[in-house]
Amino acid sequence: AEALVDFLMTPQAQEVFAKYGFRPVDKQVYAENKSRYPDPAGLFDINYLGGWDEVRSTLYSKRGIWYQVLAGI
């Protein structure tokens, strides 16, 4: 299993990922294929939602949205 993971991180394997539309994690392979991966409009990070503490409280705590949804099932 480790050999497979090691192979998947090689530039050769990363080129295959890029060929089929996946973003490569190898920086050089990504740079060579960057034009294939435009940044979508409207991207935001967790800070837009108030940070991880706020998201955990709002979504995942016992008074959060997900808990309430699952409790109603």
Q: Tell me how far apart the alpha carbons of residues 32 and 73 are, in angstroms, rounded to a whole number.
A: 48
Residue found under tokens 């108030």: 50
- Which residue spans within the chain are E strands per DSSP? none
**2 and 18 co-located in one domain:** yes
Rounded distance, CA 37 to CA 20, Å? 12
Same domain, 8 and 25: yes
Domain tally, the chain: 2
Instruction: Tell me, yes or no, whether 25 and 49 share the same domain.
Output: no
Encode pLDDT of 12-64 as tens digits. Answer: 999 999 999 999 999 999 999 999 999 889 999 999 999 999 999 999 998 89
- The verdict on 56 and 27 lying in the same domain is no
Query: 32 and 51 in one domain?
Result: no
pTM over 0.85: no
The domain of 68 spans 44-73
